[in-house]
């Protein structure tokens, strides 16, 4: 039994999450595991109606009663910036001590990348983003606010404990990946001579315990350039909270767009639930039009199952997550050369690749590949036929 708290949130959040839930339903039937999923009403609507984001008691309730959180996105134009982002998303990350934000940067076969000549063999790395420190701590303040002599500070915090536990996680992960066994620290030691000096020293010291993992260091500006010019050099990246946020939007862009990129906020000690969510935000520009690409949310569901299975030592749930990821990977080549996902998807031209259409296209492609499913598919007009039709995956 896996107990999931779902926070659809704002904008396209609930739309894309529901597609992930359809996959979960199909997987539970197929693999014979049970789940309980509760949709929780936190987000912008509640803030506007009740002037409350989420209380300490409500977070404690989630911590006590659920294994994991599945989140869509938060943030809307009629709520001031930061209210929902800090008050809900960052509150959950911090209060549940989800100190790792795991963000795969992986080009699935058939998804178009804007990097000319690159294939899925070139772009497959993992970003381990520290998730509870840095500029995200909220330390700082105003002095003489609103006057010509105003001062605003925002402090970057690095603790030896916080940095070290993140580095250890990254070294351990890098070891298990079937790549080069190379961990790249991304920072800015040439300017941030305190915080990133600590990172560098910890990297070298902890790295000494992992002689089988090669160490490399890149400044974040160079990293952005390499991610575009030679993304194949990366296996695993470990980086700070803010830099991790920024480079993973770039990571999304080189792997097909915001509609593809998935993430997991992990508490590897399993003392509190993790939280899985697309890298993208609430995309108010396309919300309510049913045109958001749900792959990021579907892949986040796959990660949710893989990681929860791992933590709970439940091979069935882990296998279900693997199968969902394989299902996405398997169907992507059907769309070779098609711009499946681009920001600005609401233009008439790119609407062609909207979810509704994409769903139908995918099912049609599956019928060609698996004609034996034809009758089932015809019955299930808006169902999960596309997903079930492709099983068992290789």
CB 5 within 8 A of CB 68: yes
How many other C-beta atoms lie within 10 A of the C-beta of residue 151?
10
Cis status, amide bond into 251, omega within 30 of 0: no
Site residue total, Mn ion (CB under 5 A): 1
- Residue 340 within binding range of ligand IPM, rule CB under 6 A: no
Determine the size of the site formed for ligand IPM (CB under 6 A): 6
Check 91, 106, 188, 330 and give the catalytic one: 188
Is residue 188 annotated as a catalytic residue, yes or no?
A: yes
Mark residues 344-373: x for contact with ligand IPM by CB under 6 A, - for none: ------------------------------
Task: Rule CB under 6 A: say whether 95 interacts with ligand IPM.
Answer: no
Active site residue 197: no
Contacts of residue 330, defined as CB under 8 A and 6 or more positions apart, other chains included, come to 390, 393, 394
The CA-atom distances, in angstroms, between 100 and each of 181, 220, 375 are 19, 19, 45
Q: Does 245 participate in catalysis according to the annotation?
A: yes
* Chain position carrying tokens 């497959």: 124
Binding residues for ligand NAD, rule: CB under 6 A, are 12, 16, 73-75, 85, 89, 258-259, 277, 280-286, 292-293, 296, 341, 343-345
d(CA 103, CA 123): 13
> Based on CB atoms, which residue is closest to ligand NAD, 73 or 185?
73
Strand ranges inside the chain, DSSP E: 2-9, 35-39, 68-73, 100-106, 124-130, 140-143, 151-154, 182-187, 214-219, 236-239, 262-266, 274-278
Give yes or no: 134 in active site. no
Exactly one of 40, 62, 90, 275 binds ligand IPM (CB under 6 A); that residue is 90
Task: Return the one option of ligand NAD, ligand IPM, Mn ion, none that residue 90 interacts with (CB less than 5 to 8 A, by type).
Answer: ligand IPM
When asked if residue 325 is in the footprint of ligand IPM (CB under 6 A), the reply is no
Provide, rounded to whole angstroms, the least separation between the CB of residue 342 and ligand NAD. 7
Do 100 and 270 meet the contact criterion of CB atoms below 8 Å apart? no
Active site residues: 136, 188, 221, 245, 249
């Amino acid at each position: 039994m896996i107990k999931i708290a779902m926070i659809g949130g704002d904008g396209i959040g609930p739309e894309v999450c529901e597609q992930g839930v359809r996959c979960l339903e199909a997987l539970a039937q197929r693999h014979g595991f049970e789940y309980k999923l509760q949709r929780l009403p936190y987000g912008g609507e509640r803030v506007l109606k009740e002037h409350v984001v989420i209380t300490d008691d409500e977070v404690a309730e989630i911590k006590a009663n659920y294994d994991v959180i599945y989140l869509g996105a938060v943030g809307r134009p009629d709520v001031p910036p930061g209210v929902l982002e800090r008050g809900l998303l960052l509150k959950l990350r911090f209060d549940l001590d989800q100190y790792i934000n795991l963000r795969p940067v992986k080009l699935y076969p058939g998804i178009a990348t804007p990097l000319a000549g690159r294939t899925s063999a070139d772009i497959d790395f993992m970003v381990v983003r520290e998730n509870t420190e840095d500029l995200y701590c909220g330390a700082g303040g105003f002095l003489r606010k609103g006057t010509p002599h105003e001062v605003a500070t925002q402090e970057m915090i690095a603790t030896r404990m916080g940095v070290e536990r993140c580095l250890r996680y990254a070294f351990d992960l890098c070891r298990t990946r079937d790549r080069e066994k190379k961990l790249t620290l991304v920072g800015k030691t040439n300017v941030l001579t305190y915080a990133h000096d600590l990172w560098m020293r910890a990297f070298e010291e902890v790295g000494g315990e992992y002689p089988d993992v090669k160490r490399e260091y890149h400044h974040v500006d160079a990293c952005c350039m390499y991610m575009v010019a030679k993304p194949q050099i990366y296996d695993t990246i470990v980086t700070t909270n803010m830099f991790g946020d920024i480079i993973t939007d770039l990571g999304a862009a080189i792997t097909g767009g915001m509609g593809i990129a998935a993430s997991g906020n992990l508490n590897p000690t399993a003392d509190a639930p993790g939280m899985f969510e697309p890298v993208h935000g609430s995309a108010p520009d396309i919300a309510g039009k049913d045109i958001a690409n749900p792959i990021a949310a579907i892949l986040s569901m796959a990660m949710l199952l893989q990681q929860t299975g791992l933590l709970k030592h439940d091979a069935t749930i882990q296998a279900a997550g693997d199968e969902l990821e394989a299902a996405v990977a398997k169907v992507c080549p059907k769309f070779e050369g098609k711009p499946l996902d681009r920001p600005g998807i609401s233009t008439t031209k790119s609407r062609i690749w909207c979810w509704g259409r994409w769903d139908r296209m995918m099912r049609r492609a599956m019928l060609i590949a698996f004609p034996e499913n034809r009758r089932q598919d015809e019955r299930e007009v808006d169902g999960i036929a596309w997903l079930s039709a492709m099983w068992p995956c290789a």
